[in-house]
Amino acid sequence: MLPVAISSIILSGKGATMGLFSKDIKTMNDLFLHMLDDIYYAEQQIAKSLPDMMKKVSHPELRTGFETHLRETEIHVKRLEKVFEKLDVTANAVDCPAIDGILKEAKKIAGEVDDKSVLDAALIAAAQAVEYYEITRYGTLIVWAKDLGRDDVVGLLNTTLEEEKAADKKLTSIAEAKVNRRAA
Ligand SMILES: [Fe+2]
Ligand SMILES: [Fe+2]
C-alpha cells in the first residue's frame, strides 16, 4: 500500500508540477523505474561531491568516513546498474532537484564557515541530510519492488540501504564524540 499522500498525488495528477513525477508515469512500475532513475542520478552527484567535502574536513576519522563512503557510493552506482540489468531496462539518470538542493546547500554552508571544528560540524550535518535522503529513497524502492513482485532486486537495494544507515550511524557517533570532547 502506498502512503495516502503519495496515492493522492498520483491519482490527482498534481505530480506533473512537482518535478519528481511526470505525465509519462502511468503505472506503479513507471513510478518505480522513475525513482530508480532519480536515485541513480543522486548517487552519481553524491560521488562527485564527496571529494570536495573530503578536502574541507579536518577531523581525521571524518575524512576516513567520507573516503570509505565515497568508495561505497561508487559501488551503489554499480549496484543500481545491476538492478536496471535485472529489470531489463536502460539506466537513465534523471535530474533530481532534491539531491541537487541538498548538495548545493552543503557547498554553500561550507563556504561560509571558517572555524575548522564548526566546519566539520557543518559537513557532518550536510552528509547526514544526504544519507537520510538516500535512506528514504531506498526504503520506498524496496517497498515498491516487493509490491511489484520484483523480489529479485530487493536484496541489492537492501544492501545499499544498510550501507547508508551505517554511514549515518558513523556520522552520528563522530558528531557525538566531538560534542563529548568539547564538554570534557
Ligand atoms: Fe548511496
Ligand atoms: Fe550514502
Note the pLDDT of residue 182: 73
| Grid cell for residue 21 | 513525477
Whether residue 19 is predicted with pLDDT greater than 70 in this model: the reply is no
Neighbours of ion ligand 2 (CB under 5 A): 134, 164
Cα gap 12→86, rounded to integer Å: 31
**13 CA from centroid of ligand 2 (Å):** 31
Neighbours of ion ligand 1 (CB under 5 A): 43, 73, 76, 134
Q: In terms of pLDDT, which residue wins out, 14 or 60?
A: 60
**97 CA from centroid of ligand 1 (Å):** 16
Ligand nearest to the CA of 168: 2
pLDDT-above-90 percentage for the chain: 77
Q: At what angle do helices 97-112 and 116-147 cross, to 10 degrees?
A: 170
Whether residue 20 is predicted with pLDDT greater than 80 in this model: the reply is no
Whether residue 63 is predicted with pLDDT greater than 70 in this model: the reply is yes
Ligand nearest to the CA of 160: 1
Whether residue 177 is predicted with pLDDT greater than 70 in this model: the reply is yes
Output the average pLDDT for the chain.
88
**40 CA from centroid of ligand 2 (Å):** 12
Note the pLDDT of residue 13: 38
**Could you read off the pLDDT of 73-130 as tens digits, one per residue?**
999 999 999 999 999 999 988 899 999 999 999 999 888 999 999 999 999 999 999 9
Cα gap 151→71, rounded to integer Å: 26
Note the pLDDT of residue 11: 39
What is the mean pLDDT of the segment spanning 3-8?
43
Judging by beta carbons within 10 Å of its beta carbon (0-12, 13-18, 19+), is residue 131 exposed, middle or buried? buried
**164 CA from centroid of ligand 1 (Å):** 6
**47 CA from centroid of ligand 2 (Å):** 9
**42 CA from centroid of ligand 1 (Å):** 8
Whether residue 10 is predicted with pLDDT greater than 80 in this model: the reply is no
